[in-house]
Each structure stands twice: as structure tokens, then as C-alpha cells.
Structure 1
Amino acid sequence: MLPETLSAVAEQLRAHQERFRDITHDRFFASILEARSIFPLARDRTHLQLVPALADVLDRTPLTGEVPDHMLRHVAVHGVRHRRHAFPPEAYEPFADALGVALHDVVTGIHPATVDAAERALRQVCARMADAARQEDLAGTPPAWLANVVQVERRSRRISVVRLETGMPVNYLAGQTLPVTARYLPGVWRMLSPALPSNDYGQLEFHVQAIERGTASQLLTTPRVGDHWTLGAPAGTLTPSGQHPLLLIAHRMGIAPLRAIVFDLLQRAEPAPEVHLVISAEYPGELHDLTALHNVSRAVDWLSLTVVAEHQKDPWWVGATETSRVPEDLTLHVTQDLGALVLELGEWRDHEVLVAGPARGVHETVWSLFRGGVPAHRVNYEAWLEMS
């Protein structure tokens, strides 16, 4: 029988998350004034994942308040990632104090001993994050990298390829994502996937799509050469095991991490596995990297391409460039059900399947693969919400 957990406290945090965040931040900013600068200026956009993350921990923590080891290992990763904010390990203790004040304010009708256990759990979380950050400091791992924009190439009206240099290696695995911010996005970070594997010179390439009414995405698609971006610690597990042939499925801008995986395989000494790459876009003119990937597929015998658009023709505003032109030896498939198309293309039970892109499309494709008999343990995916 599973032990009873602190889920009742978690439910109240979710029900009062705005008040909980406000009290926590007011208390924390009062104790460390300079901390305000690491968060977005708009209060309603500040630390939106705080309550979901803490509530998830409490849902899995027994009434004793002793956080399970696997959850502490999980939150330790966040302690490493928060180093990009210049958030020192010493700041976690006053932050834990602020969480405790907010917790006792918003939680009502629950036995005080249970609330105290929840506070102990939150303090354990903060202590573990502080320890993880301290270990990275002692190891000499950079908390962040400053990158210079060296080239901006507009591939369509909504899509830009942005190339940057840091002058030093940024250690990430092909398929991972990096948090990115710039001086014109104070306190705002967006997760972007490098479209090239890491190299010794710190050269990076991001493929960025502007979202309608999305301030951050609009600014990240229109930087100027010489702008400075700050990059945080890598995240994500969308990396191939190398033990099976690969099926890579890119929904829209999900092409970036999968492209990095293809180019990583290109530079390895050992033979690459068979790779089938499915590239999709909303409109044909937004298949923005098709020329480059087609050239790669012609140069090696292990890469094959399938090209998909959700609509047959471009609206006038797409602004397609030569990079999206579909070559004569490829067929443009038109469908809004990418999963069904992939199942029609072949049998994938013996493949390792990686899927990336906006959450709705990725989840639909993954479920289609499961229903089509692809084993769940062979499928890994990265699904994200569209940038604002």
C-alpha cells in the first residue's frame, strides 16, 4: 500500500498559487534586494513554474516530510540550472524562509503538524538545490555563457537562423536545449535547441520562429549582429542511444535538435546508423532548412528524408526563400496527421524514435505511434509550448 503523502497541502498551493508566489517573492526580495532583477518585470509572469514544481514534490512526499531521494535528485538539476541567474547557493536559505512564510499563510484547515512537515520538505528541496549549485561552483563549471550574435539569416517571414559565438566550448549533447535570454528580455528566458552539435570554438546556431503577439519570440528572431545573448545550462534527454536505426520526426521548429543529431552523426568516426528524418512545417515555404538537409542526404547513404507540410500552398505572407524549395527527387506530402503518415511510410518497431516540436503535434504523433504498435520504450520526445 502506498504511503499517504502531502498532496492535501499541494492542492492548496495550486488553488492559491498567485498569492503564494506573491508572498514568497515579497519576502525574498525584501531580504535580498538585488534578487528582483533576475525575474521578469511583469509580476504575473514571474516564476510561473514555482508552484507546479513544489506541488509535484509534495504530492510524492510522505506525511513525515522526508522528500524521496529520486525527487531530491530531480530538484538538484534545477539548482544547477538556476546558476545562470547568478543565484548563489547562499540565497537558498532565505528563499526557504520565504517559502515557509507563504506556506503558513495560504494553507488552512490542515493539521499544523502536516503543514510543518510540508515546510520541512520545502527546506530539504532548497538545501539540495544549494548543494548541487555549490558542487558545480567548486568544479569550475561556468554558470552561463555569453554569446555574440555574428549572423542573422531570415529564412521566411517568421523564421530566422541566428548564429552566435562564445569563444569557449558550450558543453551540451546534440538534441538538448539551452535557456536563452538577452538584455532586451530582462528576467525572461526561453528554451532553444542548438541546430549544431557542440564544438570547441563555442559556435552555435539557433532556428527561431516568431509567434504572433509573442514579444520574446519576435525579439529573438530579429537580433542585430553584435547583440549579446546569455546561455544557461543544457537540459533534456532527446539523445539517441546509438543501438538501433533512427526515426527522427520534426514538428515545425523541432527540426533544430534533430538536425543537431544528424550533424553529430556526420562527424563521428564510427559508422552512422540508418536514419529516416521526417521534416514537417505548417506551410511549404517554412521548410526552412530543407536545402541543407537534402544536400546531406545526397552525400551519405544512411540518411533519408520525408518532407511534409500541413497546407498545400503558402499564403502570401510566408516569404519563402530558396532554402525551402522542394527538390525534384523528393515528394511533398500534405497532411495534418503526421503520425498517420509516418505509420504509412514503413515499419518502425525496431527503430529508436525521437520526436520534437510543439506539444500538441508531438503528443498526437506519439500516441499514433503507440496505437500503431511502436513500443513505448523505443520512443523519446521533446514537446514544448510555443514561445510567447
Structure 2
Amino acid sequence: MTGAAGDDAVIDEVAASFRAGLEAYCPGLLPERATALVVAALARLVSGGGDRVGRLALLAVLGKVHRRYRLRPEHGPLIGAALAPVAPRLCPPQVSWERRWRRAWALIERAAGRMGDGPAFWPAEVVGRDLAAEGIVILTVRPWRRLPFRPGQAVPLCLPQHPGRWRWYCPANAPRPDGTVELHVRAVPAGIVSRTLVHEVRPDDLLHLGPPVDIGLSLPATPKPPRDLLLVAGGTGLAPLRALIEQVAAAPDGCRVTLIVGARTIADLYDAITLDKLDQTHPWLTVVPAFSHDPIAAPAEQGDALTLGLYHYRPGQHVYVCGPPAMLDTARHRLPAAGIPTNRLHLPTIQ
């Protein structure tokens, strides 16, 4: 998307023009309230969609839009024709709009085949903000309608300040009676959305959540959940693993859980109060911090999270790992080589 098209006001203007054109071709195809979000996502996808992970988030939302509004193959050319007059606002002049649109529509149709029914996005209000550590914020948001997620799933998120930029975040909690969702966000240097979430978003602000998606970190439901778990977290990869702990806490059923929480130093360990409470409340849970660069840490807590994870691993455990891409790449090779069966090793499929 060009810089101009990334501006919220420009997207609103383009969305109004698109909607007028679409109504001429196919009245009532998309509701007015969804138009700006859909146009921003389409613009982002057709113009490149950023990195692979960002495109997957975009396609999860647009695939659900396709399912939600029962779009058919013949709608593709109609939507493309409605977008064509505003294409110069969405893509550089040298870009072949028709070719890119055909490719984008094929991706959307493929994504729709993988999505179930239900809403494509949920407006959500920020109701809590806690700066948990330098560059890390814990946000509590309340969707206007209950978000039907399961622990271990990921949810696309989009901010009004950056229309069309959808990013994945994993809820750090199991579903709550009040419907709130806790998100852990680290600001990364190239992350426009993450830096806005950490430094600018405040309570009462609005954002949008997309459809929850399985990413390989959910507990199996059948025939029975695993009885012994080893959870290894790096940084904000703690979020989905903490949600699994809350799920187990609802029905422990003899399960034993060991949580390894990796950080560079003691000062970098965020959400420590919640971890202490979990450790003290649940006798079946053992929380072990792992400090990779802190010489004053206790000897049993020195080392990277994967090394301490292997030390605490016991045969028969299911192992869940979530953290930065480099950590996951290492885990994918190191843990099976150390004897952990691949059918008991769970890593996120989106990274």
C-alpha cells in the first residue's frame, strides 16, 4: 500500500468511492459498516501485504469476509471492477492492477476454504493497560461481542491508525465470564502496529480483532488432554502458554505442568507477579525462570529457556514452545535431537 493509502482518512475516502461502485454492480453485497475494513485489507493484500506473517493475518480476515458474506466466484470480477477506479490510490502506477487483483482474489478464495462460519471481525475496547517492562505492555480489551477463542489460538488485530495492517496476537487467558481478552505486546523496531500498541494505545481506545485461528498450541481435546506438560516460553511467547495453564486450572484432573519462562536478565522478566501467584496457587504447577545473561541469578535459573527445558523434561510429557523466531528455529531441530518425540512437540505454525 502506498503511504497515502495507509492514512485512515484516505482509506475512508477510498472506501466510500468503492462502496458506491460496488452498489452499482452488486447492491447489498457488503454492509456499510464493514466497507472501510475490507477495503483497507484488500488494498494491503493487492499492494503486497507486507511480510508472510502479515499476509496470513490479512487472509484469515478476508477469507472469513468471503465466508461471512457468502461471496461466490463471480463476485471477484465485480469487486475488482469496483476497486479499479481507486486503484491508483492503492497501488503504484506501474503495478498491473488486473493481474494483482486476480492473484489476490485466488488467495482469498483459498483462505475462505480453510475458514469456518462466523463474524470476520470484532470491535473491541481497550479497558486496561499495564506497562509490564521496558517495551512490553499488557492490554486488556473487551470485544463488543464475545470472541469465541480457545487457549493457544492466535487472533489477528488491526488498529484504526494503521488500516489494513493486521498482526497476530495470542490471548494470554482462557475465556473469562466478562469476555475480556488479555494481550501481551512487545514493541519491535520495525513493528508499526506493535509500537503503537505499546506507546500510544490507551484505555477507551478502539481496535478490531479478527477470527481466532489454531496455530498448533492448543491442547488436544480428544481422547483426553495430555496429563503432563512442559511449557517453554521466551519473551511474550508466554501469553498462549499462560492461557493453557488457565485452561488446566479449570479442570486439573491430575495434570502436572512445568513452565519455563525465559528472559535475558531478572529485570527483563515481565508479568512476574502473576507468575508468582500461579505458582503459589496451583500445587500441580512448577514455574522455573531461565535467565540467559544474568550472572547474579541462582545457578538453577541460569541458562537459556530451551536448555533448562531439556533439563526439566521427563519422558511422556507434551512439550509446548513459544517465543521469538530464532528460539523456535532452534527448538525445531534441537529438541527432537535430544529425544523429544516430534508427535509430542508443539510449536506455533505462524511465526
Displacement after TM superposition at 1:230 (Å): 0.6
1:341 aligns with 2:322: no
Residue 202 (structure 2) aligned to one of 224, 231, 248? 224
Residue 259 (structure 1) aligned to one of 242, 247, 257? 242
Q: What's the counterpart of residue 369 of structure 1? A: 335
- d(CA) in 2 for partners of 1:181, 1:220: 10
Q: What's the counterpart of residue 272 of structure 2? A: 290
> Which letter does structure 1 place at the counterpart of 2:250?
Q
Displacement after TM superposition at 1:89 (Å): 3.8
Asked which structure has the greater CA Rg, the reply is 1
- Residue aligned with 2:146, SS: coil
Displacement after TM superposition at 1:167 (Å): 4.6
1:82 aligns with 2:82: no
Residues paired across the two proteins, number: 298
| Residues 102-117 of structure 1: pairs in structure 2 closer than 5 A | none
Q: 1:336-378: per-residue Cα shift (whole Å, max 9, x none)?
A: 4x333322x2443310111111221012123221111111111
- Residue aligned with 1:46, SS: coil
- d(CA) in 2 for partners of 1:293, 1:150: 22
Displacement after TM superposition at 1:274 (Å): 0.3
Residue 301 (structure 1) aligned to one of 283, 290, 303? 283
- Residue aligned with 2:71, SS: helix
Q: Which segments of 5 or more consecutive residues in structure 2 lack a partner in the other structure?
A: 1-17, 23-34, 81-95
> Which letter does structure 2 place at the counterpart of 1:273?
C
1:233 aligns with 2:211: yes
Displacement after TM superposition at 1:238 (Å): 0.7
> Which letter does structure 1 place at the counterpart of 2:64?
R
Identify if the C-alpha distance between structure 1 residues 159 and 149 changes in structure 2 by more than 3 Å, giving closer, same or farther.
Answer: same
- Residue aligned with 1:90, SS: coil
RMSD: 4.0
> Which letter does structure 2 place at the counterpart of 1:230?
H
| Residues 1-388 of structure 1: pairs in structure 2 closer than 5 A | 36-39=39-42, 46=49, 49=52, 82-83=63-64, 88-90=69-71, 93-95=74-76, 136=117, 141-222=118-199, 223-235=201-213, 236-241=215-220, 242-268=225-251, 271-312=253-294, 333-336=301-304, 338-343=305-310, 345-382=311-348, 385=351
Q: 1:145-181: per-residue Cα shift (whole Å, max 9, x none)?
A: 1111111111112111111112532111101111011
Q: 1:179-207: per-residue Cα shift (whole Å, max 9, x none)?
A: 01111121111100111111242211111
Q: In the alignment, is the contact (CA less than 8 A) between 2:233 and 2:322 conserved in 1? A: yes
- d(CA) in 2 for partners of 1:212, 1:160: 15
> Which letter does structure 2 place at the counterpart of 1:172?
F
Identify if the C-alpha distance between structure 1 residues 156 and 40 changes in structure 2 by more than 3 Å, giving closer, same or farther.
Answer: farther
Displacement after TM superposition at 1:260 (Å): 0.6
- Residue aligned with 2:320, SS: strand
- d(CA) in 2 for partners of 1:190, 1:239: 19
Q: What's the counterpart of residue 56 of structure 1? A: none
- d(CA) in 2 for partners of 1:47, 1:252: 24
Displacement after TM superposition at 1:94 (Å): 4.8
- d(CA) in 1 for partners of 2:114, 2:313: 43
Q: In the alignment, is the contact (CA less than 8 A) between 1:39 and 1:47 conserved in 2? A: no
- d(CA) in 2 for partners of 1:122, 1:180: 20
- d(CA) in 2 for partners of 1:161, 1:145: 19
- d(CA) in 2 for partners of 1:379, 1:96: 44
Q: In the alignment, is the contact (CA less than 8 A) between 2:61 and 2:210 conserved in 1? A: no
Q: In the alignment, is the contact (CA less than 8 A) between 1:147 and 1:164 conserved in 2? A: yes
> Which letter does structure 2 place at the counterpart of 1:244?
R
Q: In the alignment, is the contact (CA less than 8 A) between 2:295 and 2:302 conserved in 1? A: no
Identify if the C-alpha distance between structure 1 residues 383 and 332 changes in structure 2 by more than 3 Å, giving closer, same or farther.
Answer: farther
Q: Which segments of 5 or more consecutive residues in structure 1 lack a partner in the other structure?
A: 1-28, 54-76, 107-118, 315-325
> Which letter does structure 2 place at the counterpart of 1:370?
P
The sequence identity of aligned pairs, in percent, is 22
Identify if the C-alpha distance between structure 1 residues 208 and 272 changes in structure 2 by more than 3 Å, giving closer, same or farther.
Answer: farther
- d(CA) in 2 for partners of 1:124, 1:232: 20
Identify if the C-alpha distance between structure 1 residues 368 and 96 changes in structure 2 by more than 3 Å, giving closer, same or farther.
Answer: farther
- d(CA) in 1 for partners of 2:109, 2:66: 17
Identify if the C-alpha distance between structure 1 residues 331 and 313 changes in structure 2 by more than 3 Å, giving closer, same or farther.
Answer: closer
Displacement after TM superposition at 1:78 (Å): 5.4
Q: In the alignment, is the contact (CA less than 8 A) between 1:266 and 1:272 conserved in 2? A: no
- d(CA) in 2 for partners of 1:237, 1:43: 28
